[in-house]
């Protein structure tokens, strides 16, 4: 039985203000009779009321009518984007080092644990779609601060596809399943998406990220998070500083490989949701460092790009990320629908000390998020749903509407009033009243894109050039895969034209994979995303500045914050009957000492007998599991070696682990399995140097376990991929 730290009343629960607030609505069935919604005890919940045992049902049956009616109306519209998501509760603790820049109390007060609810999501798929689609991941955080709710509604990629909210419906229509046949589900690999992308060069930077392994994370616990837009911090003196928000995972940023992602989708479509839920339940609380990039107001025009352009990032080499607090997720929701489904985020939910900029994508979002809740949650009272209500006191003159919960007492619901001493009264700035940043505006009313937004390629090149050869190959292969699913050849060619603006080798290699050549001159005009009367020349994509030095922070492999931790990693132990207890225990203990876990995979799901006759519990059977859901594989010595040798599931398990560059350990005596696999099929055993990441426990178990855990800490044996591709 798993240790469940997440039940109400455990852990930091007592300090958790939001949990205390939710307690008002929690319903516990234990020890109670079943009743109707009206509280009448039900005597028979299994049969309708009938005229005779075999006769017609009676309309009078209020118990049946209520039950069926409620069931008939259980579904609400899913989110138009980010429908598939998983959530968790936790807290934020500030380091207290940003008082100079922001007056936001929750970022300054180190004595307060601010409760949070976080929802991770994919973007394109429907609610029931696979977790493992190639897609951007949403990373939305609701901070229940003492000054009201602050929502950071970000992604695991620091830039966005488009520059103006006006294009959002087009982008989403293009990526969602096509309207005539509603195909494909949770995938961007289809004509309409790439048609749109190929006509909108501003998307190229994010396309590079979306084609990289960032779009297939190993775990929601191993992703970076970004607020994307430039926001403002405002301090107590009213001084503004531009700010970009970052979240860096303690476990490092890791991904799976594409072939693995495809197989996980079949093996366990809930892979990410399960991983998050199980780890929180076991007490492996995911943690991120919350950081900021700060740019003084006077440096607004110092960069080769516009800070208001959401398709650009600020390289960390130019402006480092300053850690300002930590975010920990330590409690699973009690009820998925009530919490994860009904939570409503909004980038416009800010608190004093945090304000907006004129980023045109952000400005449009400020409208969209409340608007969408009106159809999704059905009422302007969605803020009263327990998961959405602030822990800060809430009083105003908003009234009525569908499903109003609050009972506002008194004669007045307007301001000013004299009948209730003008309550609720306005708060002065010194009393915590929100005052918008005092920004001077002087401009013509225009429907235009700023020319400073027109460098669509420099940062796309920066991203590609900052990757290791292995990561570059993954991007090339992703583009080959995606474009191979596009049926219209003209779209493929147009994409090659755009890719050649990012990096010539990239375009050439993608073209080779598609059996095409890169067009000599890209089609003109390349930017279709401009107004009918717009000056095409002005909006033609152009490189501004001298370009960028490669940035290690953009590569998951070179990232300076990368860690070798193996905490929470899962290693599959393939055990036949008569498995050696000694060698099984040795590696299991070594893994557990470093926070990883061993999972026993056996011929049947019940248990397996060791060489000492002991029964050990099996976690999975050979036929119901696959190496794609594990980080490494170990084959301890088994008396019944022959049964493993003849088991196709076992051989495929090892082959997949080898293909996906995972560490594989063979106990002494088990190496004859290697000949059956694709490692070296039917050949004499090569030297271990020719099988990178394949270990054989020959001499010392200590040396073997050390080497195994070290290699697991490297996440993948990328060297093998190069070797396999040669």
Which positions are annotated as active-site residues? 82, 155
Q: What is the per-residue DSSP string for 273-308? A: HHHHHHHHHTT---EEEEEEEEEEGGGTT-SSS-TT
Contact between residue 713 and residue 682 where contact means Cβ atoms under 8 Å apart: no
Total of residues contacting ligand HDD (CB under 6 A): 27
> Does position 369 bind ligand HDD by CB under 6 A?
yes
The residues in 157-216 that bind ligand HDD, with binding defined as CB under 6 A, are 160, 165, 168
- Residue 119 as a binder of ligand HDD (CB under 6 A): the answer is yes
- Binding-site member from 331, 365, 609, 716 for ligand HDD (CB under 6 A): 365
The C-alpha atoms of residue 369 and residue 360 are separated, in whole angstroms, by: 15
Shortest Cβ distance from residue 359 to ligand HDD (Å)? Answer: 9
Q: In the set 12, 185, 368, 484, which binds ligand HDD (CB under 6 A)?
A: 368
Q: How far is the CB of 159 from ligand HDD (least distance, A)?
A: 8
Give the one residue of 16, 22, 82, 492 binding ligand HDD; rule: CB under 6 A: 82
Angle, helices 489-502 vs 191-199, to 10°: value is 40
DSSP state of 41: B
Whether the Cβ atoms of residue 94 and residue 109 lie closer than 8 Å to each other: yes
Q: Considering the complex, state which of residue 138 and residue 522 has its C-beta at the smaller distance from ligand HDD.
A: 138
Q: With H, G, I as helix, E, B as strand and everything else as coil, classify residue 117.
A: strand
Q: Minimum CB separation from ligand HDD for residue 232, in Å?
A: 16
**188 contacts 206 by C-beta, under 8 angstroms:** no
Q: Which of 115, 138, 217, 249 is the binder for ligand HDD (CB under 6 A)?
A: 138
Q: Decide the pairing of beta strands 620-621 and 597-602.
A: parallel
What does the alpha-carbon distance between residue 574 and residue 588 come to, in Å, rounded to a whole number? 12
- For 168, other C-beta atoms within 10 Å of its C-beta total 18
Nearest Cα to 176, choosing from 190, 195, 157, 158?
A: 190
Based on the shown chain and the rule CB under 6 A, indicate whether residue 155 belongs to the binding site for ligand HDD: yes
Q: How many CB atoms lie within 10 A of CB 588?
A: 20
Residue nearest to ligand HDD (CB): 138
- In the region spanning residues 541 to 570, those forming contacts with ligand HDD, defined by CB under 6 A, are none
Q: How far is the CB of 597 from ligand HDD (least distance, A)?
A: 29
CB contact set of 642 (below 8 Å; sequence gap of 6+) = none
Letters for 229-268 (x = contact with ligand HDD by CB under 6 A, - = none) are: x---------------------------------------
What residues does 664 pair with on adjacent strands?
A: 633, 694
Which of 127, 324, 346, 352 shows the shortest CA–CA distance to 233? Answer: 352
The window from 52-60, 148-156, 623-631, 636-644 that contacts ligand HDD (CB under 6 A) reads: 148-156
Nearer to ligand HDD, 85 or 497 (CB): 85
If binding is defined by CB under 6 A, does position 153 make contact with ligand HDD?
A: yes
Bridge partners (DSSP) listed for residue 139: 120, 154
Among 320, 364, 424, 669, binds ligand HDD (CB under 6 A): 364
Task: State whether the Cα torsion 394-397-402-407 is positive or negative.
Answer: positive
Reduce the secondary structure of 495-519 to three states and give it as a string. Answer: HHHHHHHHCHHHHHHHHHHHCCCCC
Binding mask 293-332 for ligand HDD (x = CB under 6 A): -----------------x----------------------
Near ligand HDD by CB under 6 A: residue from 115, 154, 522, 603: 154
**Footprint of ligand HDD on 489-508 (CB under 6 A):** none
Residues 326-345 binding ligand HDD (CB under 6 A) are 343-345
Q: Is 361 in the site for ligand HDD (CB under 6 A)?
A: yes
Binding residues for ligand HDD, per CB under 6 A? 79-82, 85, 119, 121, 138, 140, 153-155, 160, 165, 168, 228-229, 310, 343-345, 361, 364-365, 368-369, 372
């Amino acid at each position: 039985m798993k240790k469940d730290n997440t039940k109400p009343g455990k852990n930091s629960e007592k300090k958790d203000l939001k949990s205390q607030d939710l307690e008002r609505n929690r319903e516990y069935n234990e020890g109670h009779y079943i009743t109707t919604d009206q509280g009448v005890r039900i005597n028979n919940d299994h049969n309708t009321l009938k005229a005779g045992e075999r006769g017609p049902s009676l309309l009078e049956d209020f118990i049946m009518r209520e039950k069926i009616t409620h069931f008939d109306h259980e579904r609400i519209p899913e989110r138009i984007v980010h429908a598939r998501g998983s959530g968790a509760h936790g807290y934020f603790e500030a380091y207290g080092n940003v008082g100079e820049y922001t007056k936001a109390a929750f970022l300054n007060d180190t004595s307060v644990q601010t409760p949070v609810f976080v929802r991770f999501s994919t973007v394109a798929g429907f609610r029931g779609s696979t977790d493992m689609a190639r897609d951007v991941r949403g990373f939305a955080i609701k901070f229940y601060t003492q000054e009201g709710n602050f929502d950071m509604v970000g992604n695991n990629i620091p830039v966005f596809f488009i520059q103006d909210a006006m294009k959002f419906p087009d982008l989403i229509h293009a990526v969602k399943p096509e309207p005539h046949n509603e195909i494909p589900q949770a995938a961007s690999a289809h004509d309409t998406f790439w048609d749109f992308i190929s006509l909108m060069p501003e998307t190229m930077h994010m396309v590079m990220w979306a084609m990289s392994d960032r779009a297939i994370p190993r775990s929601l616990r191993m992703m970076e998070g970004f607020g994307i837009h430039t926001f403002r911090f405002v301090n107590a003196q009213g001084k503004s500083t531009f700010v970009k928000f970052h979240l860096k995972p303690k476990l490092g940023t890791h991904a799976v490989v594409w072939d693995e992602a495809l197989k996980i989708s079949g093996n366990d479509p809930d892979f990410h949701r399960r991983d998050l839920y199980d780890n929180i339940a076991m007490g492996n609380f995911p943690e991120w460092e919350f950081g900021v990039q700060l740019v003084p107001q006077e440096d607004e025009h110092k960069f080769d790009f516009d800070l208001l352009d959401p398709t650009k990032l600020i390289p960390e080499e130019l402006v480092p990320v300053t850690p300002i607090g930590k975010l920990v997720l330590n409690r699973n929701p009690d009820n998925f629908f009530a919490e994860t489904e009904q939570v409503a985020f909004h980038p416009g939910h800010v608190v004093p000390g945090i304000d907006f900029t004129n980023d045109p994508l952000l400005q449009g979002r400020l409208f969209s998020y409340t608007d969408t809740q009106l159809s999704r949650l059905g009422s302007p009272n969605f803020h009263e749903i327990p998961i959405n209500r602030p822990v800060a006191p809430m009083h105003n003159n908003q009234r009525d509407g569908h499903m109003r919960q609050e009972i506002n007492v008194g004669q007045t619901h307007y301001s000013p009033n004299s009948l209730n001493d003008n309550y609720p009264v306005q708060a002065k700035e010194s009393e915590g009243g929100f005052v918008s940043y005092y920004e001077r505006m002087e401009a013509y009313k225009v429907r235009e894109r700023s020319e400073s937004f027109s460098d669509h390629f420099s940062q796309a090149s920066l991203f590609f050039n900052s990757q290791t050869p292995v990561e570059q190959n993954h991007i090339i292969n992703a583009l080959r895969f995606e474009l191979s699913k596009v049926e219209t050849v003209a779209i493929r060619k147009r994409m090659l034209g755009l890719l050649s603006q990012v990096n010539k080798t990239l375009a050439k290699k993608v073209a080779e994979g598609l059996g095409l050549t890169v067009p000599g001159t890209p089609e003109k005009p390349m930017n279709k995303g401009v107004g009918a009367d717009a000056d095409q020349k002005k909006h033609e994509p152009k490189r501004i500045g001298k370009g960028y030095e490669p940035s290690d922070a953009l590569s998951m492999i070179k990232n300076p914050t990368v860690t070798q931790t193996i905490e929470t990693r899962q290693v599959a132990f393939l055990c036949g009957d008569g498995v050696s207890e000694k060698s099984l225990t040795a590696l299991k203990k070594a893994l557990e000492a470093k926070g990883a876990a061993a999972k026993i995979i056996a011929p049947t799901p019940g248990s397996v007998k060791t060489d000492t006759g002991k029964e050990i519990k099996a976690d999975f059977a050979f036929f119901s599991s696959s190496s794609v859901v594990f980080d490494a594989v170990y084959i301890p010595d088994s008396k019944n070696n022959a049964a493993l040798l003849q088991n196709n599931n076992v051989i495929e398990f090892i082959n997949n682990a080898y293909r996906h560059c995972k560490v594989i350990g063979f106990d002494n005596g088990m190496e004859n399995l290697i000949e059956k696999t694709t490692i070296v099929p039917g050949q004499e055993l090569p030297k271990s140097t020719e099988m990178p990441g394949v270990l054989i426990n020959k001499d010392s178990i200590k040396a073997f376990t050390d080497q195994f855990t070290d290699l697991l800490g490297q996440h993948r044996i990328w060297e093998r991929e190069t070797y396999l591709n040669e």
